[in-house]
Amino acid sequence: MSTRLDVKKTYKLFIGGKFPRSESGRYLPAKSPAGGHLDNFAHASRKDFRDAVVAARAAVNGWSKATAYNRGQILYRAAEMLQNRAGELVNEVARSTGAGAAGAKREVTLAIDRLVYFAGWTDKYQQIFGSVNPVATSHFDFTTPEPTGVVVVLAPDEPSLLALVSLVAPVILSGNAAIVIASEKFPLPAATFAEILATSDLPGGVVNILTGKRAEFISHIAGHLDVNAIVDGAGNAELSAKLQAGTAINLKRYASRSLTTADWFATKAENPYWILDTVEFKTAWHPIGV
């Protein structure tokens, strides 16, 4: 009897709502905690990153103009799709990280709940963080938050799925588009999450997910003039210093999310003030009759 070889899946990038192969043609093996070969994933290049920025910029205009209610419904739909494929994600998290079935199920369940939680903020953060300002002239003066634009999100290695969802949701709910640099150590849950987003109502380009080596992107993230903000959850002090040094030159926003693994499972990762790190405040003066 002949022996059949197992066909390994090759996970691609997620850019502009599509799944391109890396333009470099490079792939990396995803390893289990025991060192076994699980599958393969795309090793994104600098050109892939630039393509993701172009896709994100193209998506910002339509996404930011969608109503808050509509954005909330789309994020809720993404949570529905995540729940429909929860079993697949539990398996992906378990075999990638060695968390075990119970630990993986806990992470996936909380990722669904967190997406629903932030979906509920889409039509509330404006009222809570905006204001009507008292002025001494005959004007109606008010301040409202608006999306900043294209945001790069660096996800930590653990928890690979929950942290990614917790970082991306407060970025996109206000109308921003995100480019996610997935966990370098455990990329498969992020790649599977991309497949789920592709089947939801989220417009192409609102979330783009790249897999590969973080260090290869750092200088390009910091120096790219069409990136408006960075949310850094990678937890690497050396890379963080390089990002901040670069953003000082072209005035990008930089927000650090230095949480422990336990913190990502707690309410600390449900902080609505994270929304403010990727919005700008616009104040309008409207004349009124004397």
User: What mean pLDDT do residues 41-60 have?
Assistant: 96
Of the chain, the percentage scoring pLDDT greater than 70 comes to 98
Tell me, yes or no, whether 172 lies in a domain: yes
Please say if the pLDDT value at position 2 is more than 70. Answer: no
Distances (CA, A) of 253 to 30, 154, 172, 218, 243: 32, 14, 15, 15, 10
Tell me, yes or no, whether 34 lies in a domain: no
Tell me, yes or no, whether 105 lies in a domain: yes
pLDDT for res 272:
95
Please say if the pLDDT value at position 16 is more than 90. Answer: yes
Tell me: the pLDDT tens digits for 91-114?
999 999 988 899 999 999 999 999
Tell me, yes or no, whether 75 lies in a domain: yes
Tell me, yes or no, whether 69 lies in a domain: yes
Please say if the pLDDT value at position 51 is more than 70. Answer: yes
6 pLDDT tier (thresholds 50, 70, 90): confident
- DSSP secondary structure string, the chain? -PPPPP---EE--BBTTB-PPPTT--EEEEE-TTS-EEEEEE---HHHHHHHHHHHHHHHHHHHHS-HHHHHHHHHHHHHHHHHTHHHHHHHHHHHH--HHHHHHHHHHHHHHHHHHHHTTTTTHHHHH-EEEP-SSSEEEEEEEEE-SEEEEEPPSTTTTHHHHHHHHHHHTTT-EEEEE--SSS-HHHHHHHHHHHTSSPPTTSEEEE-S-GGGTHHHHHH-TT--EEEE-S--HHHHHHHHHHHHHHT-EEEE----HHHHTSGGGG-GGGGGGGEEEEEEEEE---
Tell me the pTM.
Answer: 0.92
Weakest mean pLDDT among 127-136, 243-252, 258-267: 127-136
pLDDT for res 1:
58
CATH number at residue 92: 3.40.605.10
Distances (CA, A) of 57 to 53, 88, 207: 6, 31, 11
Tell me, yes or no, whether 3 lies in a domain: no
Q: Which domain holds residue 59?
A: 12-24+39-286
Our CA angle for 25, 202, 123, nearest 5°, is 140
User: What mean pLDDT do residues 67-89 have?
Assistant: 95
Tell me, yes or no, whether 33 lies in a domain: no
Domain count, the chain: 1
Of the chain, the percentage scoring pLDDT greater than 90 comes to 77
Q: How far apart are the first and last CA of the chain?
A: 94
Tell me, yes or no, whether 7 lies in a domain: no
Please say if the pLDDT value at position 189 is more than 90. Answer: yes
Please say if the pLDDT value at position 200 is more than 80. Answer: yes
Tell me: the pLDDT tens digits for 112-156?
999 999 999 999 999 899 877 788 888 777 788 999 999 999 999
